[in-house]
Amino acid sequence: MSQTPTRAEIKAFDELSLKELHDIFWLRNVVFVVGQKITAEPEVDGADPECEHAMLWMEDRLVGTARIFHKRDPIIVGRVAVHTELQGDGLGTVLMEAVQEHLGSRHAELHAQAHLEEWYTRLGWERFGEPFIEAEISHVMMRWPDTSAK
């Protein structure tokens, strides 16, 4: 990793500053709308107030984010994003380790882009079900941890 993030934090929507919320929306736009050419329509979907938001900061620059539907059963992790200029530098792993530490042993699921399945598996997530298309991209369902086998 070329640069080290200074902090990872997770906040409820109501705890976010306007700058943090702006930075989250801006980063998701850079990654999903600009970088992956996903239509902007579903990006701001009105669900963010239901979520806790993971943020990975490099000094005062937001470089990674994810949202956590912490009141759902199972918990849903989504919108995992690392700035396109910094992907492949290990920042996604740092972000997801913070999310996983926050989850602890609570059951969670996420829709992983299929090309990231192996990476999520290395982090301890387990795939279930068949691949599906979401936002015109192949995805797979992943769970943390697999409590059904325990």
> What's the CATH number where 66 sits?
3.40.630.30
The parent domain of residue 11 ranges over 7-149
- Torsions phi, psi for 91 (to 5 deg): -70, -35
| Between 41 and 143, the higher pLDDT residue | 143
Whether 112 maps to a domain, the answer reads yes
Range 61-85 average pLDDT:
96
- Tens digits of per-residue pLDDT, 50-62? 999 999 999 899 9
Mapped to the 3 state alphabet, what secondary structure does 90-139 carry?
CHHHHHHHHHHHHHCCCCEEEEEEHHHHHHHHHCCCEEEEEEEEECCEEE
Q: What percent of the chain has pLDDT over 70?
A: 90
Amino acid 134 reads E
The answer on pLDDT for 75 being more than 80 is yes
Whether 1 maps to a domain, the answer reads no
Whether 2 maps to a domain, the answer reads no
pTM (2 d.p.)? 0.87
